[in-house]
Structure formats: structure tokens, C-alpha cells
Amino acid sequence: MTEKRQGNLILVGFMGTGKTSTGKICAERLGRTFLDMDDELVRRAGRTIPEIFAGEGEAAFRAMERSLVRELAQRQDLVIAPGGGIVLNPDNVRDFEATGTVICLTASPEWILKRVGSDTNRPLLQVEDKLGKIRDLLEKRKPLYDAIPRQLDTDGQTPAEVAERVLAVFSAQA
């Protein structure tokens, strides 16, 4: 696939919407580097996300995340999958929009639970009622996700199917 260089491709959305799996496929097809922000933060901190949350708190994690957004927004030709909470600071989305194309992946609470319900590396889901927690978090973040103009629903779709749709939106931005 040939494409014009048009800045980074950033896939935002709640956990379990397919950012990482879709992002890897998009990066391969575009011949770009894929970067999962949570993986990069873990690598830099030398601790897992649950360890960071437990030891330093969510605010410290969000500060690390903000610093990484500033850094990545200055780079080019990346496909980036930020963590689901990236939208909690509007400056993060604004910085990414300034230098790239931001696409919000969405999914229903039921699909999210199917995808991440058994993942123990999700500190916000270490509760008894996982579906209730997902619904609660989605409701709180809904206005933040809804503010992103480019939205793609991923319910019932494979990462390859979502990637096709993402790449169509991305190439239309050129």
C-alpha cells in the first residue's frame, strides 16, 4: 500500500476496543513503527501498570502518560495505541490531533468484557462486577470519546476488518 506521509495515526478508545491489535496491522500495512503507549510506559518505568497504580497512584501514571504524549506528538510516521484513559486530559488528544490523525475505536460494554474481562493487567477492572465497572467508566468518559470526530465501532469485527476501515479513514485525511 502506498501512502503519503501524513503524520502519525493514533487509535484512541476505551480498553478492549482493539487499539493494539488493529494498530499493529495498520502499522504493518503502512510500513510504519507501531507503538503501544502502555507497553512503552511499562518499559520505561521498569514496573507493570498495576504496580505503578499501586505504588504511585493513578495521578503519577497519568503524568507519565502525558509526558510520553508530548514526546510522541513530536515524532512522525508512527501508529500509536494510547491507553484508554488518554482522553482524561484533553491536552493529550489536542497534541495528537495537531500532528496526526486521531481515530476513536468504540465498542459496547459487552464486547469490551468479552475481550478484556480475564486480563489481570487492567487495574481498573480488578473488581467483582467487571461489566458494571466498564459501563460506569464508559459513561464517565463518553463525552471525551464523543468529542473525537472520527469514530469506528469495533463490535463483532476482527482486527483485520477494523484495520481496513481505519486505513480508509486515514488515507482520506491525506
φ/ψ of 148, rounded to 5, equals -85, 120
Residue 69 near residue 95 (C-beta atoms within 8 A):
yes
Question: What H or E segment, with its residue span, contains residue 88?
Answer: none
For residue 12, the SS3 value is: strand
Q: Residue 21: what residue type?
A: S
pLDDT tens digits, one per residue of 109-164 = 999 998 886 666 666 667 788 899 899 999 999 999 999 999 999 999 999 999 99
CA–CA separation, 45 and 36 (whole Å)? 14
Q: How far apart are CA 117 and CA 122, in angstroms?
A: 9
Is residue 107 within 8 A of residue 154, CB to CB? The reply is yes
- Taking alpha carbons only, the member of 19, 10, 45, 36 closest to residue 112 is 19
Beta strand pairing call for 78-81 and 33-36 = parallel
Give the CATH fold of the 8-172 domain.
Rossmann fold (3.40.50)
Q: pTM of the entire structure?
A: 0.89
Model confidence pLDDT, tens digit, residues 66-95: 999 999 999 999 999 998 889 999 999 999
pLDDT (tens digit, 9 = 90+) per residue, 29-46? Answer: 999 999 999 999 999 999
Q: Looking at the predicted structure, is the pLDDT value of residue 3 above 80?
A: no
Write down the domain spans for the chain.
8-172
